[in-house]
């Protein structure tokens, strides 16, 4: 029943916009966003932006694109995003309230069936996650599998019932079924580790010989699923699991027990290389492993070995430049390095470098926030106020990213932030790559006399 009221409202909106005949190869996407956190909605295919639409004064938007292929897309209203399934001729309207983005999101119009189903499955998965990880995973293997299979069967039966009433296309049905199956597979992969933790066993629990039989059904070369979140999350977990289990059997026990980061991640690279032929998925998985490893801040010598291995296996990886930038950014944030050449503006519009702001004997703590993420701003501001009392000898400097300049000024004023210690930049990419600000919401950089003291500080754990 969660969709009923919204469908009535959206149907009215859709009628007012005019329908699109089913043979029309174009696609219309529009709707209304309540309490918007950004001025735009952006539509993506994979990680490529296709189009954007500006919200009007009522929070409504619309865009029409020609000759779209059927498949998964996603839309972003910064900082949130959600994926959807589109087919030529669809005319889809959304309504959502950013106060509860996912919970309020509802679709109406041609294409609503598959998208409301995917949204319901997403919300159900969020509600089930803790139960499966903590209650189901505490059971013995046979009982765990019975519970999980029962959940899978109920969901698949529901899809079959819907198919009888309102048939989905073959492509849409494949995406829905894959969403259900790969979430099920994800929990199967995680069971041994979760069960060991819950039972406090020192070793992994012995499993029935057929426990991993579902792996025979894994698609390693299906471009339709590359950007399906349950599939991608499963693939990352699956590869890490295989790397650990394979190493546990074949490698020196001291290496396994020590959880040697270089050793383990080279195993992951080898598994991706051998198992995944689909180029985009392969590229994305290599990137995920590289980012996770590099952000562990291993030694320079180990970094060199890892990068040589990666470049050997993924010489044409479309993310290789980004990975190399991350590696260089981490190197440049080691203690006593000069601060990267990055610039910010103050309330008067003056441009200053980070080195200018940290150019004296007083330690300066740079932290980062974004206008659309108001909850995070509240949390980080509260933490900074506490630290200012404990460390009066430090200067705490906030840098606003991914926010229009006028909006930044409004937030500084309305939230009572000290304008003398608040700065703004439009160069999100520069800060992301050179200061590595995207891996922790409380990431900070401590500097003094224009040099790095701690490039990977955290406001919650470094003080």
Average pLDDT over residues 336-340: 95
Inter-residue contact 41 to 53 (CB < 8 Å): yes
Contact 360, 389 (CB under 8 A): no
**Per-chain mean pLDDT for the chain:** 89
Examine the pLDDT at 10 and tell me if it is beyond 80. Answer: no
Q: Which residues pair with 107 in a beta bridge?
A: 94
12, pLDDT greater than 60: no
pLDDT band at 33 (very low <50, low <70, confident <90, very high): very high
pLDDT value at position 8? 33
Q: Is the pLDDT of residue 22 over 60?
A: no
CA distance 352 to 35: 34
Average pLDDT over residues 3-31: 52
- More confident: 78 or 75: 75
What is the predicted pLDDT for the residue at 77? 93
Can you give the pTM of this predicted structure? 0.85
pLDDT grade, residue 375 (50/70/90)?
confident
Neighbours of 276 (CB within 10 A): 18
pLDDT interval class at 255 (50, 70, 90): low
pLDDT digits (tens, 9 = 90+) for 293-328: 998 878 889 999 999 999 999 989 999 999 999 999
Q: Percent of the chain scored above 90 by pLDDT?
A: 71
Instruction: Taking residues 193-204, report their average pLDDT.
Output: 82
d(CA 318, CA 314): 9
Distances (CA, A) of 110 to 55, 120, 203, 241, 451: 22, 18, 52, 41, 57
In the prediction, which pLDDT does 171 show?
A: 94
Stretch 85-102: mean pLDDT: 93
User: Is the pLDDT reported for residue 67 higher than 90?
Assistant: no
Which comes out higher in pLDDT, residue 256 or 263?
Answer: 263
% of the chain surpassing 70 pLDDT: 92
Place of tokens 């991706």: 272
pLDDT tens for 384-438 read 999 999 999 999 999 999 888 998 999 999 888 999 999 999 999 899 889 998 7
Supply the pLDDT for residue 268.
96
The pLDDT score that the predictor gives to residue 439 is 61
- Contact assessment for residue 194 and residue 137, using Cβ atoms and an 8 Å cutoff: yes
- 3-class SS letters over the chain: CCCHHHHHHHHHHHHHHCCCCCCCCCEEEEEEEECCCCCEEEEEECCEEEEEEECCCCCEEEEEECCCCCEEEEEEECCEEEEEEECCCCEEEEEEEHHHHHHHCEEEEECHHHHHHHHHHHHHHHHHHHHHHHHHHHCCHHHHHHHHHHHHHHHHHHHHHHHHHCCCCHHHHHHHHHHHHHHHHHHHHHHHHHHHHHHCCCCCCCCCCCCCHHHHHCCCCCHHHCCCHHHHHHHHHHHHHHHHHHHHHHCCHHHHHCCCHHHHHHHHHHHHHHHCCCHHHHHHHHHHHHHHHHCCCCCHHHHHHHHHHHHHHCCCCCCHHHHHHHHHHHHHCCCCCECCCCEEECCCCCEEEHHHHCCCCCCEEEEEEECCCHHHHHHHHHHHHHHHHHCCCCEEEEEEECCCHHHHHHHHHHCCCCHHHEEECCCHHHHHHHHCCCCCCCEEEEEECCEEEEEEEECCCCC
Greater model confidence, 97 or 67: 97
Q: Which numeric CATH code is attached to 343-458?
A: 3.40.30.10
pLDDT at 265 over 70: yes
Mean pLDDT along residues 86-100: 93
For residues 67-76, average pLDDT = 91
126-178 pLDDT tens trace:
999 999 999 999 999 999 999 999 999 999 998 888 888 888 999 999 999 99
pLDDT band for 256, please (50, 70, 90 cuts).
low
Q: Could you tell me the pLDDT band of residue 66, with boundaries at 50, 70 and 90?
A: confident
* Per-residue model confidence (pLDDT) at position 54: 95
Q: Give the pair of three-digit tokens for residue 359.
A: 């150019």
Q: 42: Cβ–Cβ under 8 A, 6 or more apart, which residues? A: 49, 51, 52, 75, 76, 77
The highest-level CATH class for domain 4-110 is mainly beta
Question: Which class for 119: exposed (0-12), middle (13-18), buried (19 or more C-beta within 10 A)?
Answer: buried
Cα separation, 459 vs 463, in Å, equals 7
CA 409 vs. chain centroid, Å, equals: 28
Q: How far apart are CA 152 and CA 180, in angstroms?
A: 7
Distances (CA, A) of 153 to 91, 149, 184, 432, 458: 32, 6, 10, 43, 44
Exposed/middle/buried for residue 217 (C-beta within 10 Å: 0-12, 13-18, 19+):
exposed
Mean pLDDT computed over 445-450: 95
β-pairing verdict for 364-370 and 106-110: unpaired
Cβ neighbours for 321, distance < 8 A, ≥ 6 positions apart? none
* pLDDT single digits (tens) 42-56: 999 998 999 999 999
pLDDT band per the 50, 70, 90 thresholds, residue 23: low
The pLDDT, as a whole number, for residue 93 is 96
Question: Average pLDDT, stretch 209-237?
Answer: 95
From CA 295, how far away is CA 327, in angstroms rounded? 9
359 — pLDDT class (breaks 50, 70, 90)? confident
Res 251: pLDDT: 82
pLDDT at 204 over 80: no
Domain boundaries, the chain: 4-110, 220-332, 343-458
Please tell me the distance from the alpha carbon of residue 217 to that of residue 70, in angstroms, as a whole number. Answer: 24
């Amino acid at each position: 029943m969660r969709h009923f009221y919204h469908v009535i409202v959206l149907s009215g909106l859709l009628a007012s916009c005019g329908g699109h005949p089913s043979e029309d190869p174009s696609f219309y996407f529009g709707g209304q966003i309540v309490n918007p956190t950004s001025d735009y909605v952006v539509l993506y295919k994979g990680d490529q932006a296709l189009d954007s639409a500006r919200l009007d004064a009522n929070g409504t938007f619309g865009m029409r694109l020609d000759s779209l292929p059927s498949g998964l897309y996603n839309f972003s209203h910064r900082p949130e995003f959600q994926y959807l399934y589109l087919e030529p001729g669809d005319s889809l309207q959304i309504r959502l309230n950013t106060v509860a983005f996912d919970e309020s999101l509802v679709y109406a119009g041609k294409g609503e069936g598959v998208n409301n189903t995917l949204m319901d499955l997403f919300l159900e998965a969020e509600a089930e996650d803790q139960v499966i990880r903590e209650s189901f995973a505490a059971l013995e293997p046979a009982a765990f599998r019975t519970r999980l299979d029962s959940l899978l069967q109920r969901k698949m039966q529901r899809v079959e019932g819907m198919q009888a009433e309102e048939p989905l296309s073959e492509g849409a049905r494949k995406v829905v079924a894959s969403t259900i199956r790969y979430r099920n597979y994800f929990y199967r992969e995680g069971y041994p580790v979760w069960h060991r933790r819950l039972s406090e066993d020192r070793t992994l629990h012995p499993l029935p010989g057929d426990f991993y039989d579902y792996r025979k059904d894994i698609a390693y070369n299906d471009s339709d699923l590359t950007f399906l979140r349950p599939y991608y999350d499963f693939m990352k977990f699956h590869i890490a699991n295989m790397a650990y289990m394979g190493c546990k059997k074949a490698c020196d026990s001291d290496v396994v027990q020590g959880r040697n980061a270089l050793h383990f991640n080279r195993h992951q690279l080898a598994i991706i290389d051998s198992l995944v032929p689909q180029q985009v998925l392969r590229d994305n998985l290599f990137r995920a492993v590289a980012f996770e490893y590099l952000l562990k801040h291993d030694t320079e010598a180990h970094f060199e070995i890892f990068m040589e291995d990666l470049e050997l296996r993924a010489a044409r990886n479309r993310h290789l430049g980004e990975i190399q930038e991350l590696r260089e950014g981490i190197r440049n944030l080691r203690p006593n390095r000069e601060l990267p050449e990055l610039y910010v503006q103050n309330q008067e519009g003056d441009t200053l470098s980070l080195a200018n702001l940290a150019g004296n004997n007083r330690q300066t703590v740079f932290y980062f926030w974004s206008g659309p993420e108001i909850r995070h701003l509240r949390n980080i501001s509260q933490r900074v106020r506490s630290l200012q009392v404990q460390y009066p000898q430090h200067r705490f400097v906030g840098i606003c990213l991914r926010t229009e300049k006028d909006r930044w000024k409004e937030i500084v004023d309305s939230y009572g932030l000290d304008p003398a210690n608040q700065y703004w930049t439009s160069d999100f990419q520069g800060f992301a790559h050179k200061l590595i600000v995207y891996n922790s919401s409380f990431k900070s950089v401590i500097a003094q006399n224009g040099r790095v003291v701690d490039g990977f500080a955290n406001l919650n754990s470094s003080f």
